[in-house]
């Protein structure tokens, strides 16, 4: 293995957005921060010509090449972003593979699906989640035709494709601003829709690669599809799933398990912006008062600012990771044997660097053209 003597680390700093900040200030502040993190040109919001998507039936990979986005972080969770091809080894069912393509380009094109939970559980902080979804759109679909996105909402009825695949971020943001939550949640059916019922962009799933970003708590009350079915479909279509959990502080639910499994097995991750609001609370007996032991005093705006800061840090982390991933592609060498399409093949990625965490999809289903 090659020794790595220099490691560049990008740090994602938390920031707090006060309740009184206007939306324009937050957008400018967040865009500047994300640009510094990921070196992605986001200053211009001009409407470029929309990339011409190709209508399709179920989205299906028709070639044998496998794409593996890889995230490398140090022991403090910071991105390690200057590794080279020689620092990676990839194994398919235990057999080392030749890396055909490697990139650490910060402007790798993506097609991003935004899945918004419209159930009643979203109501209490809905305005903040609208802002978060809008910022994700504006930073992941920056007005360049190489980047595109689509919007799917899911409630108690069947999910709806609110905006089909487009490189015009303003269409997506405008629709997000008009939405209001109500009802239950057909979460798994929404993932199924993202995999089978939208317009394709030429070059998927390689350039652009496929990303799904879920904003919701992961619970499902109304789907016809199961978790296993949609996870397999996402894996077959080489989709990486990220999620911003909306679960409240102190609550562990089956929804968390759903999000963790979907993200973990496709190479993404889950952010929990509301789970650290009280991390500095020491306990009532240590600081007693007539008003109770509030770490965030009622009426001061501190609680609202803490929520906003947590949500927008989650936005930063997700956007930063998508633009800081290494991209590896390889054509599986199976030793002459023909891999069955129904058999899941496991992947392992090793990095020639100690004390790092490597995140990637855990495998794929072979597809023969």
Mean pLDDT, range 265-289, rounded to an integer: 70
Q: pLDDT tens digit string along 334-350?
A: 776 666 666 899 999 99
Average pLDDT for the chain: 80
- Indicate if the pLDDT at residue 112 is higher than 50: yes
Tokens describing residue 284: 């009532």
- Tell me, yes or no, whether 287 lies in a domain: yes
- Tell me, yes or no, whether 4 lies in a domain: no
For residues 198 and 193, give the distance between their C-alpha atoms in angstroms, rounded to a whole number: 8
- Tell me, yes or no, whether 369 lies in a domain: no
Predicted confidence at residue 63, as pLDDT, reads 52
Q: Which pLDDT band holds residue 48 (cuts at 50, 70, 90)?
A: very low
Instruction: Using the CB atoms, write b or e for 36-67: b if 16+ within 10 Å.
Output: ebbebebeeeeeeeebebeeeeebebeeeebb
Indicate the range of 52-61, 66-75, 243-252 predicted with least confidence. Answer: 52-61
**Across-strand partners of 259?**
none
Percent of the chain with pLDDT over 70: 72
Predicted confidence at residue 274, as pLDDT, reads 81
For residues 330 and 102, give the distance between their C-alpha atoms in angstroms, rounded to a whole number: 9
Q: Which pLDDT band holds residue 312 (cuts at 50, 70, 90)?
A: confident
Domain that holds residue 211: 9-364
State how many domains the chain has: 1
- Tell me, yes or no, whether 16 lies in a domain: yes
What's the first-to-final CA gap in the chain, in angstroms?
35
Q: Give CA angle at 81 (76, 84), nearest 5°.
A: 130
CATH (domain of 15)? 3.40.50.410
Predicted confidence at residue 359, as pLDDT, reads 96
Greatest mean pLDDT among 210-219, 273-282, 310-319 lies in 210-219
- Tell me, yes or no, whether 257 lies in a domain: yes
Predicted confidence at residue 334, as pLDDT, reads 79
- Tell me, yes or no, whether 216 lies in a domain: yes
Query: Which residues lie closer than 8 Å to 209 by C-beta, 6 or more apart?
Result: 67, 69, 108, 109, 110, 111, 238, 240, 327
Tokens describing residue 368: 């023969």
Predicted confidence at residue 343, as pLDDT, reads 87
Quick check: 326 and 82 in contact, CB under 8 A?
no
**How many residues are recorded in the chain?**
369
What count of Cα atoms within 13 Å lies in the side-chain half-sphere of residue 37? 25
- Tell me, yes or no, whether 60 lies in a domain: yes
- Tell me, yes or no, whether 2 lies in a domain: no
Among candidates 61, 211, 241, which has minimal Cα distance to 147?
A: 211
- Indicate if the pLDDT at residue 41 is higher than 90: no
Environment class of residue 105 by beta-carbon count within 10 Å: exposed (0-12), middle (13-18) or buried (19+)?
A: exposed
């Amino acid at each position: 293995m090659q020794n790595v003597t220099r490691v560049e680390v990008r740090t994602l700093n938390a920031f707090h957005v006060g309740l009184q900040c206007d939306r324009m200030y937050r957008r400018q502040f967040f865009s500047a921060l994300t640009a510094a993190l990921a070196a992605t040109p986001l200053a211009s919001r001009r409407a470029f010509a929309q990339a011409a998507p190709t209508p399709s039936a179920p989205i299906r990979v028709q070639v044998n090449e496998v794409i593996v986005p890889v995230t490398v972080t140090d022991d403090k969770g910071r991105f390690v972003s200057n590794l080279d091809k020689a620092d990676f080894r990839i194994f398919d069912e235990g057999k080392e593979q030749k890396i055909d393509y490697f990139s650490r380009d910060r402007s790798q094109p993506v097609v991003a699906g935004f899945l918004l939970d419209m159930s009643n559980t979203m109501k209490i902080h809905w305005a903040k989640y609208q802002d978060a979804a809008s910022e994700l759109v504006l930073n992941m679909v920056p007005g360049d035709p190489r980047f595109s996105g689509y919007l799917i909402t899911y409630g108690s009825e069947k999910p709806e494709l609110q905006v089909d695949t487009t490189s015009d971020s303003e269409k997506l943001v405008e629709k997000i601003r008009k939405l209001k939550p109500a009802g239950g949640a057909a979460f798994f059916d929404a993932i199924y829709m993202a995999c089978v019922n939208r317009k394709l962009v030429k070059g998927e799933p390689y350039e652009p690669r496929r990303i799904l970003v879920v904003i919701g708590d992961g619970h499902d009350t109304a789907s016809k599809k199961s978790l296993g079915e949609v996870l397999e479909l996402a894996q077959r279509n080489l989709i990486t799933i990220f999620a911003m959990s909306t679960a409240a502080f102190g609550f562990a639910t089956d929804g968390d398990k759903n999000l963790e499994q979907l993200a973990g097995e496709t190479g993404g991750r889950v952010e929990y912006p509301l789970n650290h609001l009280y991390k500095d609370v020491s306990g009532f007996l240590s600081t007693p008062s007539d008003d109770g032991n509030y770490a965030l005093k009622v009426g001061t705006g501190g609680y609202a600012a803490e929520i906003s800061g947590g949500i927008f840090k989650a936005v930063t982390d997700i956007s930063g990771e998508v633009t800081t991933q290494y991209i590896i592609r390889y054509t599986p060498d199976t030793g002459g044997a023909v891999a069955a399409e129904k058999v899941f093949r496991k992947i392992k990625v090793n990095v020639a660097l100690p004390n790092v965490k490597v995140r990637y999809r855990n495998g794929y289903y072979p597809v023969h053209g």
